[in-house]
Amino acid sequence: MSVGSEISVAQLESDPYPIYAQLRAEQPVCFVESVGLWLVTRWDDVQYVDKAPDLFTGETEPSTLNRTFGKNLLGSEGAYHDRIRKIIYPWFRVGAIGDYPDKVVAPIANELVDSFVDRGSADLVSEFAEPLSARVLKQALGLSFVEEDTLRRWFVELATGAANFEGDPEKQAVADAASAEVDETLAPVIAQLEHEPDDTLLSSMVNTQVDGQRLTRAEIQSNLKVMIVGGLQATTDLIGLSLWAILSHPEQFEEVRADPTLVDPAIEEAARWHSPVGTSTRQTTRATELGGVQLEQGSLVAAVLASANRDERNWQDPDRYDIHRREGGHLAFATGPHLCIGARLARYETRTAWRVLLDRLPNLRLDPARPIEISGWEFRSPHHLDVLWK
């Protein structure tokens, strides 16, 4: 019997790593009935899928993403995708957001720490990572005037549409209402930015012209929604997961404390070890063979980034968290044409979050009374991260 018929969604959600190990060993390209997807789990095959958009397209049919947001970066390929990406990318360059760590992220992080520093204990997910990620994203996108709770609700409702693979009309109605609300909210802001540009991503999307091309109103709206869905939860999760990774390895934590240059490799290793975004979802444009398996045209494929990041063919002792690992880059931000456009911002946020916490919370450690709970396979999230300090 195929391994894929035995795997349940509940197993994947609670701890996918033993399943990925089994799939890599026995069926590296395997149809998993419970999720209706071919899971591709080895490093080489995952890279191959991400880097061959003509064969494995992000423009799936139907596309929950395009249906909910309108056609956007993640749901398009080829010349269309290149055009949009070229116009949006400049805002994410070092030259444009290089001052974010000190100017934007650190002040917000410090303000959040102020609110709980005297207490000696906190949940670093709900009291720190989550609001930090929301506030930075609001500022970056140009949505400072939007309430944090509204941004969160948009995220939840838009994500409901993005994950509505079963086409449930009630779920779609919720997502469509949120989508319309975002458009309505943006309309007057976009009109103003056309005359009075500022330093936000929204303004850049409105005013950037590359090779004589600009984004249409619909493209600005759809891509802003992708940024909300792509940028909020994943960044919260990387901050939470990376802090947990280091705090659950106290000897390595001591090393980082003694040598702050280890912060960046420690975060990269955490992104490899527990990748916040688990998969790149694609569809075959024609019949093809992958890992000895014949895939029909139109097959839905999940290239499992989180599994590639633990592939023993590419990593020594991959289940170990090791901040001194020097084995090359991981795939937590994917690769190929859809390589995460927000990766630099996410890294700035996570590194600055660490810096501020290390500076301000002496003797930081996990609260042994409240061990972490983590779930999810497409998006892997810590539910809380309870810590203590002096």
Residues that bind ligand HEM (CB under 6 A): 50, 58, 73-74, 85, 226-227, 230-231, 234-235, 238, 276-277, 280-281, 305, 332-334, 338, 340-342, 345-346
Region label for 196, one of left (φ > 0), alpha (ψ between -120 and 50) or beta (otherwise): beta
Alpha-carbon distance 363 to 236, whole Å?
A: 23
Give the Å distances, CA to CA, from 209 to 182, 193, 205.
Answer: 24, 14, 9
Q: How far is the CB of 216 from ligand HEM (least distance, A)?
A: 17
Q: How far is the CB of 8 from ligand HEM (least distance, A)?
A: 24
Q: How far is the CB of 170 from ligand HEM (least distance, A)?
A: 26
Question: For residues 112 and 304, which CB has a smaller minimum distance to ligand HEM in the complex?
Answer: 304
Q: How far is the CB of 237 from ligand HEM (least distance, A)?
A: 7
Question: For residues 121 and 301, which CB has a smaller minimum distance to ligand HEM in the complex?
Answer: 301
Q: How far is the CB of 139 from ligand HEM (least distance, A)?
A: 11
SS3 assignment for the chain = CCHHHCCCHHHHHHCCHHHHHHHHHHCCEEEECCCCEEEECCHHHHHHHHHCCCCEECCCCCCHHHHHHCCCCCCCCHHHHHHHHHHHHHHHCHHHHCCHHHHHHHHHHHHHHHHHHHHCEEECHHHHHHHHHHHHHHHHHCCCCCCHHHHHHHHHHHHHHHCCCCCCHHHHHHHHHHHHHHHHHHHHHHHHHHHCCCCCHHHHHHHCCECCECCCHHHHHHHHHHHHHHHCHHHHHHHHHHHHHHHCCHHHHHHHHHCHHHHHHHHHHHHHHCCCECEEEEEECCCEEECCEEECCCCEEEEEHHHHCCCCCCCCCCCCCCCCCCCCCCCCCCCHHHCCCCHHHHHHHHHHHHHHHHHHCCCCEECCCCCCEEECCCECEEEECEEECC
Q: How far is the CB of 37 from ligand HEM (least distance, A)?
A: 13
Q: How far is the CB of 70 from ligand HEM (least distance, A)?
A: 13
Q: How far is the CB of 388 from ligand HEM (least distance, A)?
A: 26
Question: For residues 24 and 274, which CB has a smaller minimum distance to ligand HEM in the complex?
Answer: 274
Question: For residues 122 and 332, which CB has a smaller minimum distance to ligand HEM in the complex?
Answer: 332
Q: How far is the CB of 254 from ligand HEM (least distance, A)?
A: 25
Enumerate residues 6+ apart whose C-beta is below 8 A from 48. 290
Residue facing ligand HEM at closest CB distance: 342
- Placement of tokens 């949505």 in the chain: 143
Question: For residues 70 and 276, which CB has a smaller minimum distance to ligand HEM in the complex?
Answer: 276
Q: How far is the CB of 273 from ligand HEM (least distance, A)?
A: 13
Question: For residues 63 and 118, which CB has a smaller minimum distance to ligand HEM in the complex?
Answer: 63
Question: For residues 86 and 119, which CB has a smaller minimum distance to ligand HEM in the complex?
Answer: 86
If 0-12 CB within 10 Å is exposed, 13-18 middle and 19+ buried, where does residue 52 land?
middle
Peptide bond into 28 cis (omega under 30): no
